[in-house]
Amino acid sequence: MLKKIIKEIKGYTLVELVLTMALMGILLGAIAKISSVPIQAYIDTLRRADLVDSAEMAIRRMGRDIQRAIPNSVRTKASGSVQALELLNTIEGKQYRAQGPAINSLDFTAADTDFDVWGPFQYVNLANLSYRVVIYNTGAINGSNFDSPIAGTNVYSTSNAPVTSTVPPPGTHVITPTSLVVTLSNPTGSTGHVNISGTGWQFAFPSPKQRMYITDGPVSYLCDTSAGTLTRYWGYTIAGVQPTSFAGGVQSALLASNVSACTFTYLQGSVNRNGVAILRITLTSKGESVTLINEVSVRNVP
């Protein structure tokens, strides 16, 4: 009886165990190969979605800044592996008071220290004393070179119109200089007030629609394909030559990485159409690339 029980419960032989393990290995390998295809496809889809999201976020942010730029302040430049786009940021726009009884209007025939605007300021920080006022920036340049702004007519010019100039009037400009403090206030519910320190400022031209803009300074986007980055810079001073690099002390924010190609093009507007900024950016990861193109309409009515 004992021999019969032992015979019935005996295990597998070594040959049977080896064959079983071999068959299981073949089966598991086949299953892994079949299941790896949808898994890899899922991973690839996630990577492509991340690339699209990063590129779209960067282009949307650039588009928002461009659409709120001071009229005629958008300019582009290429230098080596860097594509640069610069603009002057608008904090708020108003209509200055030009004429009328018992109002403090803006004088364009001489330096003016203070004037009123229609409606109170809503978006500026009234305690901020670093704002600058821009009126009728035409963005005039010599030829087609954005690095050659004409003095007195372009916010990027660091000098006033020369004394020998007749247009604009000698010693004037379209933007208040950094040496003068601009103080904004809301004395009444229907009026805003602008005060310019010192002897005041004489603006070059009156705006046909009495438009006035408040700016907190320039903003630059630098796309560096050698570093694979798209970065936003701000908190620096205006310069006649458009910057394509920044040293320390300038505020910045990385908008996108894995950038393999980019192109920024700005087409100045005319009497028949608005200006157009064309943004093209390509992001590449694991051998796959995603390219997004966006055309931003720029209203340049100063």
Q: Render pLDDT for 165-201 as a digit per residue (tens, 0 to 9).
A: 666 777 789 999 999 999 999 998 889 999 999 999 9
Q: What predicted TM-score, i.e. pTM, was given to this entire model?
A: 0.83
Q: Render pLDDT for 116-155 as a digit per residue (tens, 0 to 9).
A: 999 999 999 999 999 999 999 999 998 888 999 999 999 9
Whole-angstrom distance between the N-terminal and C-terminal Cα of the chain? Answer: 110
CB 117 within 8 A of CB 93: no
Using DSSP, state whether 30 is helix, strand or coil. Answer: helix
Reported confidence tier of residue 249, pLDDT bands at 50, 70, 90: confident
- The rounded radius of gyration (Å) of the Cα atoms in the chain is 32
Q: How many CB atoms lie within 10 A of CB 97?
A: 19
Q: At 290, phi and psi to the nearest 5?
A: -130, 130
Mean pLDDT, residues 152-161 taken together: 90
Q: At 289, phi and psi to the nearest 5?
A: -125, 145
The backbone region for 240, taken as left when phi is positive above 0, alpha when psi lies in -120 to 50, beta otherwise, is: alpha
- The token pair that represents 248 in the structure block: 């320390």
Distance CA 252, CA 265 (A): 22
Classify burial at 74, counting beta carbons within 10 Å of its beta carbon; exposed 0-12, middle 13-18, buried 19 or more: buried
Q: What residue ranges do the domains of the chain occupy?
A: 54-298
Q: How many CB atoms lie within 10 A of CB 129?
A: 11
146-182 b/e (C-beta count within 10 Å ≥ 16 → b): beebbbbbbbbbbebbeeebeebbeebbbbbeeebeb
pLDDT(230) > 70: yes
pLDDT(2) > 60: no
Say how many CA atoms lie within 13 Å of 132 toward its Cβ. 23
Task: Name the average pLDDT for the chain.
Answer: 87
Q: Render pLDDT for 47-98 as a digit per residue (tens, 0 to 9).
A: 677 878 888 999 999 999 999 999 999 999 999 999 999 999 999 999 999 8
| Site of tokens 């015979």 | 7
Using CA atoms, how far residue 299 sits from 71, 121, 207, 274, 296, in Å, is 7, 22, 15, 5, 10
Distance CA 97, CA 190 (A): 12
